């Protein structure tokens, strides 16, 4: 067997044997890393879902303009076209008196009560949805005021305080995501890197021996680096698997939640791998440093 192939086989064998020779250390590292990744995963999952719910709520932001009783069909068509002309408006949907009643019936569930009324008291309305980037309170208010000023519109509703609160919540959430996400990401990377560091330092004596018998830094580093990568990627995948199983179990009770997107899964594994590689790199450097005056 050529010496070069022998070296590659040596690195792979060393990596696997390194895990086997230090079973308890490997197990402790794995458990610690899985637990850390799990915490990271839960935080990511909660954050992603809070944002998901917030986005859904934002989708529901809009204006309802009630049409006066007895307005002609021509006037209604004219009003619709006037509202559609506004640059902030994405869609305008006409909800007739009948459709409003039908919707109310469905939401109420007890049709007998409405039947007892005999007449339909609900007005027809326009449901106006603004473009995604033009849904601030100011813009909603501006459009609502314009529509409210049109002849034939009785009343306009746009959520007011509720919209203002949602905006505030969304802004706070975004800042929270960035700040807490960065802190947690760094903390996770630090814990994983430090765990890997301990596995390297536990074998400091072996590294010293290798140095004395003439091992290059590369020769010492590669098996440790491979081991670090293996440790963290297996830990990340195990944590991801556990997170998914936990999510599946909980999703029966929380039907509107979503699992991590492919992008977040990639981020999750990348943070793990990055921490593993950085942790191994620095701890080996610490041990390999030559004393020079």
Partner 1 sequence: MIRFFHVTKTYPNNRIALNDVTFEMEQGELLFVVGPSGAGKSTLLRMIYMEEMPTSGQVIVGRFLSTTISRDKIPLLRRQVGTVFQDFRLMQDRTAFENVALSLRIAGRFSGTELKQKVMNALGKVGLCHRRNSVPRELSGGEQQRVAIARAIVNSPIVLLADEPTGNLDAGVGGEIIQLICDVNAGGTAVVVATHDENVPRKLGSRIARIREGRLSELGRGLLAGVIGGGPIGGGETIGGEASNAGKSRGGALI
Q: Could you tell me the two tokens for 217?
A: 């830094």
For residues 6 and 241, which CB has a smaller minimum distance to partner 1 in the complex?
6
Q: At what angle do helices 161-201 and 137-148 cross, to 10 degrees?
A: 160
How many Å apart are CA 273 and CA 261, to the nearest integer?
Answer: 18
How many Å apart are CA 127 and CA 69, to the nearest integer?
Answer: 17
Question: Minimum Å distance from CB 17 to partner 1?
Answer: 8
For residues 17 and 157, which CB has a smaller minimum distance to partner 1 in the complex?
17
Question: Minimum Å distance from CB 231 to partner 1?
Answer: 18
Question: Minimum Å distance from CB 210 to partner 1?
Answer: 7
Sorted by sequence, the CB contacts under 8 Å of residue 207 that are 6+ apart come out as 200, 220, 284, 287, 288
Question: Minimum Å distance from CB 7 to partner 1?
Answer: 6
For residues 69 and 208, which CB has a smaller minimum distance to partner 1 in the complex?
208
Question: Minimum Å distance from CB 277 to partner 1?
Answer: 22
For residues 97 and 211, which CB has a smaller minimum distance to partner 1 in the complex?
211
For residues 21 and 248, which CB has a smaller minimum distance to partner 1 in the complex?
21
Chain contacts with partner 1 (rule: CB under 8 A)? 1-3, 6-7, 10, 21-22, 205-206, 208-217, 219, 290-293
Radius of gyration of the chain (CA): 31
For residues 155 and 205, which CB has a smaller minimum distance to partner 1 in the complex?
205
Tally DSSP H helices, then E strands, for the chain. Answer: 10, 4
How many Å apart are CA 239 and CA 257, to the nearest integer?
Answer: 19
Question: Minimum Å distance from CB 269 to partner 1?
Answer: 30
For residues 219 and 259, which CB has a smaller minimum distance to partner 1 in the complex?
219
How many Å apart are CA 256 and CA 166, to the nearest integer?
Answer: 19
Beta bridge partners of 127: 64, 93
Residue 139: count of CB within 10 angstroms of its CB: 15
- Judged by DSSP in three states, 125 sits in strand
Q: Could you give phi then psi for residue 190, rounded to 5 degrees?
A: -65, -45
Residue written as token pair 């459009």: 143
For residues 106 and 292, which CB has a smaller minimum distance to partner 1 in the complex?
292
Question: Minimum Å distance from CB 18 to partner 1?
Answer: 9
How many Å apart are CA 239 and CA 41, to the nearest integer?
Answer: 8
Question: Minimum Å distance from CB 172 to partner 1?
Answer: 52
């Amino acid at each position: 067997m050529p010496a070069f192939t022998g070296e590659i086989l040596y690195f792979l064998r060393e990596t696997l044997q390194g895990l086997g020779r230090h079973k308890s250390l490997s197990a402790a590292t794995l458990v610690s890393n899985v637990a850390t990744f799990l915490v990271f995963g839960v935080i990511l999952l909660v954050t992603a879902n809070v944002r998901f719910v917030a986005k859904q709520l934002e989708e529901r932001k809009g204006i309802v303009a009630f049409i006066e009783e007895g307005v002609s069909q021509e006037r209604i068509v004219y009003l619709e076209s006037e509202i559609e002309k506004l640059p902030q408006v994405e869609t305008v949907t006409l909800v007739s008196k009948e459709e409003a009643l039908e919707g109310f019936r469905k939401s109420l569930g007890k049709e007998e009560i409405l039947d007892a009324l005999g007449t339909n008291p609900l007005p027809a309305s326009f449901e106006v949805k603004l473009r995604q980037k033009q849904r601030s309170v100011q813009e909603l208010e501006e459009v609502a005021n314009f529509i409210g000023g049109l002849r034939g519109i009785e009343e306009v509703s746009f959520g007011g305080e509720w919209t203002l609160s949602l905006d505030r919540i969304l802004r706070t959430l975004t800042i929270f995501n960035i700040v807490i996400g960065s802190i947690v990401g760094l903390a996770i990377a630090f814990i994983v890197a430090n765990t890997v560091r301990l596995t390297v330092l536990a074998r400091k004596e072996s590294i010293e021996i290798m140095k004395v018998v003439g091992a290059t830094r590369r020769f010492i580093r590669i098996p440790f680096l491979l081991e670090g990568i293996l440790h963290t990627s297996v830990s990340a995948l195990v944590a991801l698997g556990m997170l998914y199983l936990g999510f599946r179990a909980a999703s029966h009770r929380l039907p509107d939640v979503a699992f991590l997107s492919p992008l977040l899964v990639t981020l999750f594994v990348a943070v793990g791998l990055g921490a593993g590689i950085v942790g191994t790199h620095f701890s080996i450097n610490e041990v390999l440093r030559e004393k020079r005056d």
